[in-house]
């Protein structure tokens, strides 16, 4: 009888268990999806509430009235609002902003983080992935934010036209239909797509550069970033993106405020129709109307937003770390 050596009794290798790959979009930076949404919601609410008076001034500067248009500066617009409507007018529409900003920014940042994780392939220098992720985020968040943004702008310029948020919502629904809430959606997306592409790509690039030169960075790692880095990178990104996209913001304001308090009403909701009207009445300078308050809004707003967002994320990371070690 043939004998078998102990070497011939080696175990037969078994095929590895098959586990289909499952993409779980809930763990960028070790955070759960709901934590990204909460961080984004808090950041967006703080940002827009803090900068709301500047946004009101910008809206007044961009709204076209039937009377001949004259150049209006920030100080002139501010004095006009205070003189004719009182200081409280600077905050008219803030509740509409509050209702829209929180949910919209929850969608905005969570979509951005998930998209960035899977598009960048873990490469922090992939500016194209950051830009595309920003575009994906804005398409989703604008669908949430546009209706309340329209209500907010009508309340900002409509002195006494509406009694409040829900009166505006009800009257628009009865008199103009549901589509009025999304009259500017295409323009908003066309404006915010390049805005967020520039914004996120600039933010990630400036943040990366500041991390390399920051004296706070001793060991190397995201935890060493201070709020000053977030704020500086956010301000640079917000200011640049705001200036680049001002013409489309003017068009958006026209579409959202048409027919309110003497503002022009357009025969169609086409962007080209609004562009032609602005050029006819005010020339090319009309497309830049409000660029300075828009930049003054978005630079500090982005600084507030990003520093708040990154801080809340860090708090959640600490909480998750403590729970994992417990």
pTM summary value: 0.69
**Residue 131 included in any domain:** yes
Contact partners, residue 320, CB within 8 Å, separation at least 6 = 30, 31, 32, 35
E strand map for the chain: none
Domain-located, residue 183: yes
DSSP secondary-structure letter at 19? -
Contact 130, 199 (CB under 8 A): no
List the one residue out of 158, 153, 119 whose CA is nearest residue 260. Answer: 158
Distance CA 145, CA 106 (A): 11
Examine residue 11 and state whether it is found in any structural domain, yes or no.
no
Q: Is residue 323 part of a domain?
A: no
Domain residue limits at 297 = 33-315
Does residue 271 lie within any of the structural domains?
yes
Within a domain: residue 127?
Answer: yes
Give the tokens for residue 78.
């501010």
Q: What is the pLDDT along the chain (326 residues), one digit of tens a residue?
A: 445 554 555 555 544 443 433 333 344 557 788 888 899 899 988 988 888 998 888 888 877 555 444 556 788 888 888 888 889 889 999 999 888 999 999 998 888 888 888 888 878 778 888 888 888 999 999 999 999 999 998 998 877 788 889 999 999 999 999 999 998 888 888 888 888 888 888 988 898 888 887 655 534 444 445 778 889 999 999 999 999 888 888 888 877 777 665 566 666 667 788 888 888 888 888 888 888 888 988 899 899 988 898 889 888 888 887 666 65
d(CA 151, CA 158): 10
Total tally of structural domains belonging to the chain = 1
Indicate the SS3 state at residue 229.
helix
Is residue 153 included in any domain, yes or no? yes
Which among 291, 292, 298 is positioned nearest to 51, based on CA atoms? 298
d(CA 130, CA 153): 30
Q: What is the CATH number of the domain that holds 257?
A: 1.50.40.10
Report if residue 321 sits inside a domain: no
The answer to whether 25 and 17 have CB atoms below 8 angstroms apart is no
């Amino acid at each position: 009888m043939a004998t078998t050596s102990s070497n011939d009794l080696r175990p037969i290798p078994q095929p590895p268990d098959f586990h289909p790959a499952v993409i779980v979009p809930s763990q960028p930076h070790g955070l759960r999806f709901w934590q990204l949404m909460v961080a984004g919601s808090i950041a967006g609410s703080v940002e827009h509430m803090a900068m709301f008076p500047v946004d009101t001034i910008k809206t007044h500067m961009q709204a076209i009235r039937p009377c001949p248009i004259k150049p209006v500066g920030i100080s002139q617009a501010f004095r006009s609002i205070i003189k004719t409507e009182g200081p409280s007018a600077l905050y008219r529409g803030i509740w509409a902003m509050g209702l829209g900003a929180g949910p919209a920014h929850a969608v905005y940042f969570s979509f951005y983080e998930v998209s960035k994780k899977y598009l960048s392939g873990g490469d922090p220098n992939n500016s194209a992935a950051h830009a595309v992720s920003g575009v994906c985020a804005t398409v989703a968040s604008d669908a949430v934010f546009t209706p309340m943004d329209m209500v907010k702008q009508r309340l900002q310029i409509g002195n006494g036209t509406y009694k409040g948020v829900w009166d505006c919502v009800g009257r628009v629904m009865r008199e103009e239909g549901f589509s009025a809430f999304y009259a500017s959606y295409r323009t908003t997306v066309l404006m915010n797509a390049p805005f967020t592409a520039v914004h996120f790509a600039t933010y990630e690039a400036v943040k990366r550069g500041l991390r390399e030169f920051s004296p706070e960075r001793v060991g190397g790692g995201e935890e060493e970033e201070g709020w000053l880095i977030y704020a500086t990178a956010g301000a640079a990104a917000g200011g640049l993106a705001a200036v680049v996209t001002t013409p489309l913001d003017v068009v958006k304001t026209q579409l959202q405020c048409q027919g309110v308090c003497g503002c022009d009403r357009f025969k169609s909701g086409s962007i080209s129709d609004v562009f032609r009207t602005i050029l006819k009445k005010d020339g090319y300078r009309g497309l830049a109307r409000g660029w300075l308050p828009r930049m003054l809004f978005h630079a500090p707003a982005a600084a507030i937003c990003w520093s708040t967002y990154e801080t809340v994320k860090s708090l959640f990371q600490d909480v998750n770390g403590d729970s994992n070690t417990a």
